């Protein structure tokens, strides 16, 4: 880091001293921007001098026997030098004060125009430095021992800053080490934390697959506890909305459609092709779906069929709103799985496959496949969907043979 210093002093009486101090600072690698190098500027000199303190770590104050030029419009009637030093204090700049020694020799050497020691303002100003700072002194003369020697003070301060910086870095390193030890202990003692961290690492490679759930965790295969878990624990709503080209869904009853009907409408309004296949719960197909219901342990057969038919009508209403973008077909063969595929031909393709159990199993495995990790699995699933789509019948409430409720 390059340190920067500002020299504040009266100029006409202390020109040799200013030049000497500036050269000392440069030799020590300190950046100096002395007033003598400033270009012409229309800004008030007091304001300009104060601004020059920006970015400085040191302000070297060379104080002789007068305050200097009084700044115009300053309510406190301060000189420009006083304003600079006050600004350095306000900014927290390290202030190093060097006073011209009050001696007969120096009084005689200073021109009368620059000797205001009889002025109470000057005396109070000089005494304020002696009471608040550890001041160094200099004399009027051209010998080295008479000049302000700023290097010892600068070196002392830089050494102290470096010690403080090293202590701070040691503390930070110790803190980080302690945090690493604590994290390691928690990691090895908590399977939940391990699973979360592994999921986050996997998400770097395939964020679509591993960041889809609301808690940021995913295990490629998980258990979904019916519709409630699909709604609460996954980002199914956002994944629907993200569809660009096509969304295909294969299900038995699909009662979840009610909860996501607005999302399907938004997709269709954007031109997304929505293709849905559901089991045919018509009276003519009753032997198939009744046998399936019996096998998987469904006891309220008529109610389940009624719910499915109600979903038919809701999807058909959406189809009438967006003809060509929404279509429902009915599959006469019962299904043992649920599947949906989003944009199979895009790099962002996403597919899900849920497996149903026989015997009243509550939870069912839920697999997720992406283009990144799934290879040609999504293509294979899309082909399977297209095959069932070809074998299924377009739904029409006019020709549909509704199930017998008796």
The mean pLDDT of the chain is 83
Q: What is the pLDDT of residue 375?
A: 67
Q: What is the pLDDT of residue 99?
A: 93
152 Rama class: left (phi>0) / alpha (psi -120 to 50) / beta: alpha
Model confidence pLDDT, tens digit, residues 174-184: 898 888 888 77
Please determine, for residue 317, whether its predicted confidence score (pLDDT) is greater than 80.
yes
- Measured CA to CA in angstroms, residue 350 lies from 134, 262, 330 at distances of 72, 21, 23
Q: How confident is the model at residue 334 (pLDDT cuts 50, 70, 90)?
A: confident
CB atoms within 10 A of CB 373: 15
Model confidence pLDDT, tens digit, residues 188-233: 777 767 666 766 666 666 655 554 555 555 545 555 555 556 666 6
Q: What is the pLDDT of residue 40?
A: 46
Q: Which tokens sit at 218?
A: 């995913």
Q: How confident is the model at residue 106 (pLDDT cuts 50, 70, 90)?
A: very high
272: which residues sit within 8 A by CB, 6+ positions away? 243, 244, 245, 246, 247, 325
Q: State how far the Cα of 25 lies from the Cα of 53, in Å rounded to an integer.
A: 16
148: which residues sit within 8 A by CB, 6+ positions away? 17, 20, 21, 60, 62, 98, 136, 138
Q: Which tokens sit at 316?
A: 């058909």
Please determine, for residue 41, whether its predicted confidence score (pLDDT) is greater than 60.
no
Please determine, for residue 303, whether its predicted confidence score (pLDDT) is greater than 50.
yes
Using an 8 Å Cβ cutoff, are 270 and 247 in contact? no
Model confidence pLDDT, tens digit, residues 116-149: 998 998 999 999 998 988 899 999 988 888 899 9
94: which residues sit within 8 A by CB, 6+ positions away? 57, 58, 59, 157
Model confidence pLDDT, tens digit, residues 146-158: 899 998 888 888 8
3-state DSSP of the chain:
CCCEEEEEECCCCCHHHHHHHHHHHHHCCCEECCHHHCCCCCCCHHHHHHHCCCCCCEEEEEECCCCCCECCCCCCCCEHHHHHHHHHHHHCCEEEEEEECCCHHHHHHCCHHHCCCCCHHHHHHHHHHHHHCCCEEECCCCCHHHCCCCHHHHHHHHHHHHHHHHHHHHHHHHHHHHHHHHHHHHHHHCHHHHHHHHHHHHHHHCHHHHCCECCCCCCCEEEECHHHHHHHCECHHHHHHCCCCEEEEEECCCHHHHHHHHHHHHHHHCCCEEEEEEECCCCCCHHHHHHHHHHHCCCCHHHHHHHHHHHHHHHHHHHHHCCCCEEEEEECCCCCEEEEEECCCCCCCEEEEEECCCCCCCCEEEEEEEHHHHCCHHHHHHHHHHHHHHHCEECCCCCCCCCCCC
Query: What percentage of the chain reaches a pLDDT higher than 70?
Result: 80
Q: Which residues pair with 7 in a beta bridge?
A: 60
Q: What is the pLDDT of residue 406?
A: 45
Q: State how far the Cα of 61 lies from the Cα of 150, in Å rounded to an integer.
A: 10
Please indicate, yes or no, whether the overall pTM of this predicted structure exceeds 0.75: no
Least confident of 304-308, 325-329, 364-368: 364-368
Mean pLDDT across 75-83: 88
Q: State how far the Cα of 249 lies from the Cα of 336, in Å rounded to an integer.
A: 14
Domains and CATH numbers, the chain: 4-149 (3.40.50.10140), 220-394 (3.30.870.10)
Q: What is the pLDDT of residue 216?
A: 55
Mean pLDDT across 371-384: 83
Q: What is the pLDDT of residue 100?
A: 92
Q: State how far the Cα of 143 lies from the Cα of 166, in Å rounded to an integer.
A: 38
Q: What is the pLDDT of residue 159?
A: 87
Query: What percentage of the chain reaches a pLDDT higher than 90?
Result: 33
**295 vs 400, residue with greater confidence:** 400
Please determine, for residue 353, whether its predicted confidence score (pLDDT) is greater than 60.
yes
Using an 8 Å Cβ cutoff, are 308 and 302 in contact? no
Q: What is the pLDDT of residue 207?
A: 58
Least confident of 27-31, 313-317, 324-328: 27-31
Could you tell me which of 345, 100, 353 has the C-alpha nearest to residue 246? 345
């Amino acid at each position: 880091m390059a340190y920067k210093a500002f020299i504040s002093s009266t100029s006409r009486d202390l020109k040799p001293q200013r030049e000497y101090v500036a050269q000392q600072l440069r030799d020590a690698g300190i950046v100096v921007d002395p007033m003598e190098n400033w270009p012409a500027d229309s800004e008030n000199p007091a304001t300009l001098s104060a601004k020059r303190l920006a970015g400085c770590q040191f302000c070297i104050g060379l104080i002789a026997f007068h305050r200097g030029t009084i700044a115009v419009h300053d309510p406190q009637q301060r000189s420009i030098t006083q304003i600079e030093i006050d600004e350095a204090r306000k900014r927290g700049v390290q202030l190093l004060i060097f006073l011209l020694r009050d001696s007969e020799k120096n009084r005689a050497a200073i021109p009368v125009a620059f000797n205001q020691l009889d002025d109470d303002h000057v005396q109070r100003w000089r005494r304020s430095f002696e009471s608040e700072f550890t001041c160094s002194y200099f004399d009027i003369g051209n010998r080295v021992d008479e000049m302000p020697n700023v290097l010892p003070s600068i070196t002392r301060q830089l050494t102290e800053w470096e010690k403080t910086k090293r202590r701070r870095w040691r503390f930070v390193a110790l803190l980080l080490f302690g945090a690493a030890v604590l994290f390691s202990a928690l990691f090895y003692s908590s399977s939940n934390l391990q699973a979360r961290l592994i999921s986050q690492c996997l998400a770097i490679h395939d964020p679509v697959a591993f960041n889809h759930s609301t808690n940021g965790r995913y295990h490629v295969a998980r258990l979904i506890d019916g519709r409630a878990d699909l709604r609460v624990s996954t980002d199914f709503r956002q994944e629907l909305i993200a569809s660009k080209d096509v969304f295909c869904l294969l299900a038995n009853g699909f009662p979840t459609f009610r909860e996501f009907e607005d999302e399907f409408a938004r997709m269709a309004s954007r031109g997304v092709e929505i293709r849905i296949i559901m089991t045919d719960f018509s009276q003519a197909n009753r032997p198939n779906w009744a046998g399936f219901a019996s096998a998987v342990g469904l006891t309220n057969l008529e109610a389940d069929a009624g719910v499915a038919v109600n979903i038919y009508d809701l999807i058909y209403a959406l189809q009438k709103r967006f003809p060509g973008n929404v279509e429902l077909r009915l599959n006469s063969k019962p299904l043992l799985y649920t599947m949906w595929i989003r944009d199979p031909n895009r790099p962002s393709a996403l597919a899900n496959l849920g497996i149903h159990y026989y015997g009243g199993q509550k939870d069912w495995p839920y697999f997720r496949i992406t283009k990144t990790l799934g290879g040609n699995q999504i293509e294979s699933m899309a082909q399977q969907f297209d095959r069932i789509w070809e074998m299924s019948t377009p739904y029409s409430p006019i020709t549909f043979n509704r199930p017998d409720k008796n």
